[in-house]
């Protein structure tokens, strides 16, 4: 809930109006490093036209960690066989209403995928 401020149109100064909304009331985009485990977003946005296929990981954090450890790296899951290919040459503005916890793509497509987290009406961010 926004804070209340004094109404600038009230001569007595006793009237209040809602204050400005905080940043947490709005959707928050986040560029996620490829192969990294993150909180599941509300949707995915394509910022630039993709040059290669992009895959998404839909498993749990435990399955992600187990697969990453089996590859010899506990922090990043790099094997493309673990990802479901969802985009092949996606275009700018494509919105995917999916909730993966990681994505994998080529180095040519770094920064072209954005995970978007919804803001809340209660003023609490969801990222």
Tens-digit pLDDT profile for residues 93-124? 889 999 999 988 888 888 888 998 887 665 45
d(CA 10, CA 62): 57
| pLDDT exceeds 70 at position 10 | yes
Give the pLDDT confidence score for residue 23 in this predicted structure: 61
Q: pLDDT for 33-84, tens place per residue? A: 888 888 888 899 998 888 888 899 998 989 998 998 888 877 788 888 889 9
| Higher pLDDT among residues 87 and 76, named by residue | 76
pLDDT value of residue 121: 62
Tokens representing residue 34 in the block: 């490829």
Q: Whose CA is closest to 55, among 88, 22, 14, 92?
A: 88
CA of 32: how far to CAs of 5, 7, 18, 79, in Å?
Answer: 37, 42, 34, 17
What gap in Å lies between CA 77 and CA 84, rounded to an integer?
13
Contact predicate 114/58, CB 8 Å: no
pTM for the predicted model, two decimal places:
0.71
Structure-token pair, residue 64: 């992600």
């Amino acid at each position: 809930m926004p804070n209340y401020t004094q109404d600038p149109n009230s001569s007595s100064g006793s009237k209040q109006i809602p204050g400005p909304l905080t940043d947490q009331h709005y959707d928050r985009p986040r560029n996620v490093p490829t192969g990294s485990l993150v909180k599941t977003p509300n949707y995915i946005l394509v910022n630039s036209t993709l040059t290669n296929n992009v895959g998404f990981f839909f498993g749990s954090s435990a399955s992600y960690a187990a697969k990453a450890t089996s590859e010899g790296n506990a922090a990043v899951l790099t094997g493309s066989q673990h990802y479901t290919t969802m985009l092949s040459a996606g275009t700018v503005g494509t919105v995917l209403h999916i909730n993966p916890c990681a994505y994998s793509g080529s180095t040519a497509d770094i920064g072209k995928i954005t995970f978007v987290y919804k803001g809340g009406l209660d003023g609490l961010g969801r990222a």
